[in-house]
Amino acid sequence: MVMKRALLIALTSLVALAGCHSFKKENVQPPTPLDKSFKPTVQVTRLWRSSVGAGAGESGIRLRPAYADGVLYAASTDGKLAAFDAQSGKTLWTKSDRTHGWFGWGDKKRADVFYAGGPMVSGDLLVVGTLDGHVYGLGAKDGSPRWQAKVSSEVVASPVIVGNLVVARTTDGRLYGLDSSTGERRWAYDQSAVPLLSLRGNGPLLAANGVVFFGSDNGKLVAVRMDNGEKLWEQTLASGEGRTEIDRLNDADGGILLDGSTLYGAAYHGNLIAVDGPSGRPLWTRPFSTFTSLDTLGNALYGVNESSQVWAFDKNGGADIWKNDSLKYRWLTGPAIQGNYLVVGDMEGYVHWLQSGDGALAAREKLSKKPIRAQPLVVGDTVYVEDEKGRIGAYRLSAH
């Protein structure tokens, strides 16, 4: 399993560059140039900008900050944790575990704590996973260590915290239910079948009504009981069919959406599907290939396909509402809803706003020159965007 995942790190970066179609350089599509004559229709104000460590670096994962009680938390793969005042960007505390091993536990010769999954915060507990298979519980007020748990593989998706349980996902297809006070393992769920070749990353977990929902590396939407880790049901998002290993990639690497009692999910080389949450019964399905998360507003469902075309669908049946091609091949993040707009980041460090009603571009700002991989985080009237080097920008909109 370790050898397999090491292979995936190298291969999937090439897959992303090639639009997941070919490894041949001549088939790599160049990003659509930005319109130099573009005039915004909504005003964007950058509230602040800061950074945390080296961010995700070359790991290929999608590090995203977390928000709780007026504080924004962020982590980096070079062992940095930071908490910021969400309104002003003022640094409240930072913690570096670069030279002290795992919080002083175990082998002190370790150079780094490779934070990768999270952070996630609930109450006074902050939880974060690592690239070498640990989950840590810390104090949210100062980053002080509380507990550690060893798991079977990398944790590159944010854990969830529900009551006295932390649920963490590993890249080898397992879920772990951990005691939120001690880190003690309560249960483990094993997916049992993980494809030999897979896109780099895992989608975030969704916890609701005593159930954990997630998209798997073999194209399934899976529901697992939170109290004991037993699988309730699964639905197919992608079949994994094709002539080559690349064609057969079918990861569901985006987050699962819950709207009322309906779940929405999508997969690479697969479909967008609506499922009745309690029963797992499919309501409708339509072809749609993506490796990013979705978002919803009103009666519309929004997503970015494998070519970075932005789509809007009727969430009651999946019919097309609109499609925007102007950011094609700019390798966009999944969309996030901010007011009446969609926010996406791209491979050149730009942040774009699109009107939710018709998909027209409404505003553009540049955070940095580095790729933005994680779906932006919207809290109230503010959106937080993080690039792969750990730079974080906070933006607010106001109409002209």
CB of 149 closer than 8 Å to CB of 134: yes
Phi, psi of 12 (to 5 degrees): -70, -25
Q: What is the pLDDT of residue 386?
A: 98
Helix (H) or strand (E) holding 10: helix 2-17
Share of the chain above pLDDT 70, in %: 84
Closest CA to 334 of 310, 356, 312: 310
Terminal CA-CA length for the chain: 54
Q: What pLDDT score does 241 carry? A: 65
DSSP at 33: P
Q: How far is CA 196 from CA 62, 106, 243, 318, 324, in A?
A: 21, 32, 15, 32, 34
Is the CB of residue 344 less than 8 Å from the CB of residue 360? no
**Ramachandran category for residue 100: left, alpha or beta (phi over 0 → left; psi -120 to 50 → alpha):** alpha
CA distance 273 to 237: 7
User: Which pLDDT value is given to residue 13?
Assistant: 43
CA–CA dist 321, 390 (Å, integer): 35
Return mean pLDDT, the chain.
87
Distances (CA, A) of 153 to 12, 133, 184, 211, 254: 18, 5, 17, 23, 20
**Interval 328-349 mean pLDDT:** 97
Domains of the chain: 37-50+293-399 (2.40.128.630)
Q: What is the pLDDT of residue 18?
A: 38
Report long-range pairs for 306-312 (Cβ below 8 Å, ≥24 apart).
306/19, 306/20, 306/268, 306/269, 307/19, 307/29, 308/332, 308/346, 310/335, 310/342, 310/344, 310/354, 310/359, 312/356, 312/359
Tell me which of 204 and 398 has the higher pLDDT.
Answer: 204
Residue 259 confidence (pLDDT): 95
Mean pLDDT, to the nearest integer, of 231-248? 76
Q: Mean pLDDT, to the nearest integer, of 123-137?
A: 96
* Residue 14 predicted with pLDDT over 80: no
Q: What is the pLDDT at residue 134?
A: 96
**Least confident span in 99-108, 256-265, 358-367, 368-377:** 99-108
| pLDDT band at residue 17 using 50, 70 and 90 as cut-offs | very low
In the three-class reduction of DSSP (H, G, I as helix; E, B as strand; rest coil), residue 204 is classed as: coil
DSSP 182-193: T--EEEEEE---
Q: Burial letters for 246-281: b for 16+ Cβ neighbours within 10 Å, e otherwise?
A: bebbbbbbbbbbbeeebbbbbbbbbbbbbbebeebe
Rounded CA-CA distance 268/272 in Å is: 10
Whole-angstrom Cα distance, residue 56 to residue 46? 23
The pLDDT confidence band at residue 42, using thresholds 50, 70 and 90, is very high
Cα 322 from chain centroid (whole Å): 24
Regarding predicted confidence, which is higher, 242 or 323? 323
Buried b vs exposed e over 109-140: b needs ≥16 C-beta within 10 Å? ebebbbbbbbbbbbeebbbbbbbbbbbbbbeb
> Which pLDDT does position 245 carry in this prediction?
66
The pLDDT of residue 111 is above 60: no
pLDDT of residue 24: 40
pLDDT (0 to 100) of residue 19: 40
Res 347 pLDDT > 60 = yes
State what percent of residues in the chain have pLDDT above 90: 74
Of the listed ranges 99-103, 109-113, 304-308, 359-363, the least confidently predicted one is 99-103
Averaged pLDDT, 219-229 = 93
Q: Supply 269's token pair.
A: 């080389």
**Cβ contacts of 160-166, under 8 Å, gap ≥ 24:** 160/120, 160/204, 160/205, 160/206, 160/207, 160/212, 161/120, 161/121, 161/122, 161/125, 161/127, 162/122, 162/207, 162/226, 165/226, 166/127, 166/135, 166/137
Residue bearing tokens 């854990």: 159
Strand ranges of the sheet holding 125-130, from the earlier edge strand across to the other edge: 115-122, 125-130, 134-139, 145-150
Q: What is the pLDDT of residues 53-108, one digit of tens each?
A: 999 988 888 999 999 999 999 999 999 999 999 999 999 999 987 534 444 444 44
Q: Reduced to 3 states, what is the DSSP secondary structure of residue 3?
A: helix
pLDDT at 292 over 80: yes
Mean pLDDT of 235-239: 82
Query: Is this model's pTM higher than 0.85 or not?
Result: yes
Confidence of residue 142 (pLDDT cuts 50, 70, 90): very high
Evaluate if residue 12 carries a pLDDT over 80.
no
pLDDT of residue 240: 63
Q: Pick the residue with more confidence: 386 or 253?
A: 386
Q: Per-residue b/e over 172-187, b at no fewer than 16 CB within 10 Å?
A: bbbbbbbebeebeebb
